[in-house]
Chain A
Amino acid sequence: MPYLPDGEYRQRFHAALRATRLDMEELWLRYFALGGEVGRVEIEAYLNGLLPLPSLQHDLLAHAINERLDELAPPRAPYASELPPLE
């Protein structure tokens, strides 16, 4: 199922991508490491709204961006469920 975000979705996607401060090379390598199957040129075309992608490929790209954002994010407070159980 080909997928090409437009309007607000595309803007949100691009805002997230900018926040990663990754260049195309680094983004593609991260996407590739996750198992992405599409080449760098196609990814660039997709980001420019020129070429649709299967939705799983979109999600892998989104995930590569989000993992990077988690790396950059400040530390988070753990929930009780994440703490070791009390004796």
Chain B
Amino acid sequence: MAASQDPTPETWAAVFAHMSGGVLSEQTVSTVLELITSLAKDTLPGSVGAGVTLVDEDGSHRTAAATDPIVERLDALQYELGEGPCLTATHEAVPVRVDDLSGERRWPRWSAAAAQDGTSSVLSVPIVHAGRSFGAVKVYSPRTHGYTDQSEEILERFAAQASILLANMHTLAAAEELNEKLLQALRDRDLIATGKGIVMLRENLDADAAMRRLLEMSAQRRITVREVAAEVVASIHIESV
């Protein structure tokens, strides 16, 4: 068992205060994930590196943050072989701890390559929010039995922080997309209202009748009301020039 000293509650308070401050002030996810991985490496002594694996929209995996090249190597190998502790942690949404990779049978090819690269134990915890798995946070150790139940609890707290961040980023992206759709709808509506006003003047119609004219023209010519309105507006512009 690794000689990891117990962090005091004060250390924890400092670590999480640091992280919350980071979440508030940093603009990009990757910066915060880098911070989370470097804190994970520092708070789990004996680790050669820590990293975060994320699942992209298309289902592919990538390492979003890694403290050391060995993490990138071991992660890339998991994605390439389609097997490994972080993939299992991500897809089964369970923490995966391996005390001795030389005896590991679940991912024979990856475990052999990792052992060759000097890694003997690994701990990988899923990043889950509201039932959705975003990926995993992992640490690698050159010693067997590098991690304990307590290490698992600690890494789970980092994963919880990462999950809040990622869930928020996800919501933000969805909100931005809706925002863009709404702006487009407002632009269309504006153009159509302008076209309607021109038809009102030109054909001496009230607002509802003018709108019906636009709908008729659109249906007859099988072009959108927006396109009809754009033509009406453009025709005024030509007349006035």
Contact = CB atoms under 8 A, between A and B. Distances in A.
A63 B192 CA distance: 13
B215 A33 contact: no
B211 A35 contact: yes
B211 A56 contact: yes
A49 B40 CA distance: 57
Interface stretch (B63-71, B115-123, B163-171, B181-189): B181-189
A6 interface: no
A59 interface: yes
Contacts of A60: 211, 215
A35 B189 contact: yes
Category for how many chain A residues contact B = 10 to 19
B230 to A, nearest CB: 13
Given A67-B224, A67-B225, A59 B215 contact: yes
Contacts of B212: 56, 59
Interface in A28-87: 29-30, 32-35, 56, 59-60, 63, 66-67, 70, 76
Contact of B182 (A29, A59, A70, A76): A29
Given A66-B219, A67-B225, A32 B211 contact: no
A56 B214 CA distance: 12
Contacts, number: 40
Contacts of A34: 188-189, 192, 225
Contacts of A35: 189, 192-193, 196, 211
Q: Chain B: interface secondary structure?
A: helix
B59 to A, nearest CB: 23
Q: Chain A: interface secondary structure?
A: helix
B218 interface: yes
Contact of B188 (A33, A63, A70, A76): A33
Nearest to B209: A56
A29 B222 contact: no
Nearest to A25: B178
Given A63-B215, A67-B224, A32 B189 contact: yes
B208 interface: yes
A32 B190 CA distance: 11
B215 A32 contact: no
A1 to B, nearest CB: 10
A59 B185 CA distance: 18
A67 B221 CA distance: 12
Interface of B: 181-182, 184-186, 188-189, 192-193, 196, 208, 211-212, 215, 218-219, 222, 224-226
Given A29-B185, A32-B189, A34-B192, 15 more contacts: A29-B181, A29-B182, A33-B184, A33-B185, A33-B189, A34-B189, A35-B189, A35-B196, A56-B208, A60-B211, A63-B218, A67-B224, A67-B225, A70-B222, A70-B224
7 contacts: A35-B192, A56-B208, A60-B211, A63-B218, A63-B219, A67-B224, A67-B225
